């Protein structure tokens, strides 16, 4: 299972990575810190799940904040599971508008605060992948291949 974390704060990215690794068996985590690298990564290695920070640093005129990036990702990959990750009420509201625009529910599984718990991760994992984290199942690459094939349809 491949997870992409889009987070410009190295400490936050590190903490979330370690928490995910402690909760999810067989997870590979990639971290990028800006929208351009995120889009490039997704185009070449479609992840199984994207976790995106709201307040990404703008490095140039081609970079975007989290909600704008989420819209770009959902337009190109409408079935890709995406989790928004922000403590900012403004950013969570902006993410909610984007999710609703792409007919996504806004719920506890795809909208996390920065102080996310292991229980929240377990619930989100079960919600998106219909797998119990407690079972520590080996990830099926056939399932991943089917999911990725549907992204390109």
CATH architecture of 2-151: 3-Layer(aba) Sandwich (3.40)
* Cα angle for residues 31, 138, 15 (degrees, 5° grid): 30
* Cα of 63 vs its chain's centroid, Å: 18
85-130 pLDDT, tens digit each: 999 898 899 999 999 999 999 999 999 999 999 999 999 999 998 8
How far is 36 from 64, CA to CA, in rounded Å?
8
What mean pLDDT, rounded, does the chain reach?
Answer: 85
pLDDT in tens, 2-26: 999 999 999 999 999 999 999 998 8
Alpha-carbon span 106 to 110, nearest angstrom: 7
pLDDT(61) > 70: no
For residues 25 and 37, what is the distance between their CA atoms, to the nearest angstrom?
26
The mean pLDDT value for 38-45 works out to 96
Helix (H, G, I), strand (E, B) or coil at 148: helix
């Amino acid at each position: 299972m491949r997870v992409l974390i889009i987070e410009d704060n190295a400490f936050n990215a590190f903490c979330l990575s370690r928490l995910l690794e402690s909760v999810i068996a067989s997870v590979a985590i990639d971290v990028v810190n800006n929208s351009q690298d995120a889009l490039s990564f997704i185009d070449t290695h479609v992840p199984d799940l994207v976790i995106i920070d709201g307040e990404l640093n703008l490095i140039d005129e081609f970079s975007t904040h989290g909600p704008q990036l989420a819209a770009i990702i959902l337009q190109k990959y409408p079935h890709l599971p995406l989790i928004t990750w922000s403590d900012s009420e403004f950013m969570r509201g902006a993410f909610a508008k984007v999710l609703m625009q792409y007919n996504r529910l806004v719920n506890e599984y795809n909208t996390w605060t920065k102080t996310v718990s292991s229980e929240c991760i377990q619930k989100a994992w079960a919600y998106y992948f219909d797998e119990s984290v407690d079972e520590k199942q080996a990830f099926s690459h056939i399932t991943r291949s089917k999911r990725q094939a549907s992204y390109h349809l």
